[in-house]
Structure 1
Amino acid sequence: MSQPLPATPDIPSVQHLVSPAEWQLRVDLAACYRLVALYGWSDLVFTHISARLPGPEHHFLINPYGLMFDEITASSLVKVDMQCNKLMDSPYPVNPAGFVIHSAVHAARDDVQCVLHTHTRAGVAVSAQKHGVLPISQQSTFVLASLAYHDYEGVAFRDDEKPRLQADMGRANFLMLRNHGLLTCGRSIADAFLSMYTFEAACKIQVDALAGGTELTQVNPAIVQGVSQASRVQTGGMGGAFVWPSLLRKLDRESPGYRS
């Protein structure tokens, strides 16, 4: 019989063992996990959010496998290499199979710090629709401006899928994994989270609109082509950093403890 996971309150702080830059990344990534739980996007323990640490070593932070997302703290996050081998002592296991998709994106995209993957009901529903994301909402226009698709090849634990996923994704920041779920990436954790918020909203709106059973009005393609500039204007050029402080304040009210 496997040993039970240790309780999260017993995790000693690792702040004194890591650089200030790593600690800040740990706090932001723990916050991202808590926010995913708070917004109802988690799938028990079965998805992942990864963040690349500063430096040339290609080291990453990922969730301790088996903890619910609303239990994750900065100190409980596990530091791994590109093969998902632990680089610091941790009482928690990691899930190498769950890191396959993430490592594929990180390996191909030096511009990406964070990869966020979900299996939400609305996201999987739209991923199963042949037409994919439809241009029927303001949210969908932001997604369509940088969207790619990758066909389902079964549970993603084989390394030989990586080149195909990388080729399909290219330079897109939104990836729809057919019959599987949603993925976003960003230059920061805040950017990846804001992109997923928009992606999830677009999918929920689409499912609801299609359920109405009436003909839908689609956005003019020219508007979709010009949406990147509109996105920069909306956030003052700050992207996810514009909303991140308010999200952390929300977490401090509703799910404190992630900073430990």
Structure 2
Amino acid sequence: MNASIDNVLRYPEVRQKVSVEEWEQRVNLAAAFRLCAKYKMTDLIYAHLSAKIPGKPRQYLINAYGLLFDEVTASNLVTVDFDDKIVHDPTGLGVNPSGYVVHGGLHKARADVQCVMHVHTMAGGAVSAQSHGLLNLTQHAMRFHNRVAYNDFGGTATNNEEAVRLARDLGRHKVMILRNHGLLTCGDQVREAFELMHYLESACQMQIGALPGGKVFICDDETAEKVASHFDKPNRVGPTKDWPALLRMLDRIDPSFRD
């Protein structure tokens, strides 16, 4: 990484000014950006992920407006408060205005949500344009059976009315398909929000791949509910194993997300 890039991406003084818990949250959120980049869940500089700051329930971290997902690091994340004011922005790039609407609105509405991810992907966008929404075609899709909210497109997310509508339509769900727009997930950890997004996008890719091939078999609701209920179990072992494995992969590829 050359010196000019280093000046934009790394701010070592930030780590000295935040709590251990906040730094861990920053590292995890930066990792989620890198993972989205690896799995091609990006849209140049225009999508956004956010996470509340531990110990500061009215503040959250979000990406600077102008960085690609693979440029996000733990130290260059921007701190924003619930009044849509930037508390700290080491980059000076500011925040995408729609970030205040999508993320600020949902963080305010859902005290249980620690992380919100909103992306514009090819398959997610395609399914968002299909009137039937996500179909029970695969196990990946069935884990979301009766657990997906839908939000009708009302134009770009740039006003407070849209923030209210997003929160209303999401309700108590953790997954939402924004019709004619994209995908949104949230979780009580960064790990959970990323896992949901990864499998939601995978389910969309499978659906887009299957439908042009002719008649498809849509699984019955009873079976789909069994699948979804399995993934709802609080004692599943997988969630304790997948995130450390993903972080190890990122460390092998490029550990700079930790900076």
2:93 equivalent to 1:109:
no
Flag the 1:131–1:89 CA change in 2: closer, same or farther, 3 A: closer
Q: Which amino acid aligns with 1:249?
A: R
Offset, 1:6:
7.8
What corresponds to 2:242 in structure 1? 243
Does the 8 A contact of 1:145 with 1:224 survive in 2? no
State the superposition RMSD in angstroms: 1.9
What corresponds to 1:128 in structure 2? 129
2:194 equivalent to 1:224:
no
Structure 1: stretches of 5+ with no match in the other structure: none
2:182 equivalent to 1:181:
yes
What corresponds to 1:50 in structure 2? 50
Q: Which moved more, 1:170-179 or 1:94-103?
A: 94-103
What corresponds to 1:140 in structure 2? 141
What corresponds to 1:259 in structure 2? 258
Q: Which amino acid aligns with 2:113?
A: V
SS in 2 for 1:126: helix
Q: Which moved more, 1:67-76 or 1:239-248?
A: 239-248
What corresponds to 1:162 in structure 2? 163
Report the Cα distance in structure 1 between the residues aligned to 2:67 and 2:235, rounded to whole angstroms: 36
Report the Cα distance in structure 1 between the residues aligned to 2:6 and 2:95, rounded to whole angstroms: 14
Offset, 1:10:
5.0
How does the TM-score come out when normalised to structure 1? 0.92
The one-character-per-residue Cα deviations of 1:179-206 (angstroms, maximum 9, x if unpaired) are: 0000000010000000001100000000
Offset, 1:239:
6.0
Q: Which moved more, 1:96-105 or 1:171-180?
A: 96-105
Does the 8 A contact of 1:232 with 1:239 survive in 2? no
The one-character-per-residue Cα deviations of 1:74-124 (angstroms, maximum 9, x if unpaired) are: 000111102332212523322233221112211111111000011000000
Once the two structures are aligned, what percentage of the paired residues are identical? 43
2:120 equivalent to 1:119:
yes
What corresponds to 2:60 in structure 1? 60
**Count of matched residue pairs:** 255
The one-character-per-residue Cα deviations of 1:145-181 (angstroms, maximum 9, x if unpaired) are: 4101000001100111222222211111110000000
Offset, 1:144:
2.3
Does the 8 A contact of 1:63 with 1:72 survive in 2? yes
What corresponds to 2:18 in structure 1? 18
SS in 1 for 2:35: helix
SS in 1 for 2:144: helix
Q: Equivalent residues in 2 for 1:21-32 (5 A)? A: 21-32=21-32
Does the 8 A contact of 2:119 with 2:182 survive in 1? yes
Q: Which amino acid aligns with 1:50?
A: S
How does the TM-score come out when normalised to structure 2? 0.92
Structure 2: stretches of 5+ with no match in the other structure: none
What corresponds to 1:149 in structure 2? 150
SS in 2 for 1:52: strand
What corresponds to 1:201 in structure 2? 202
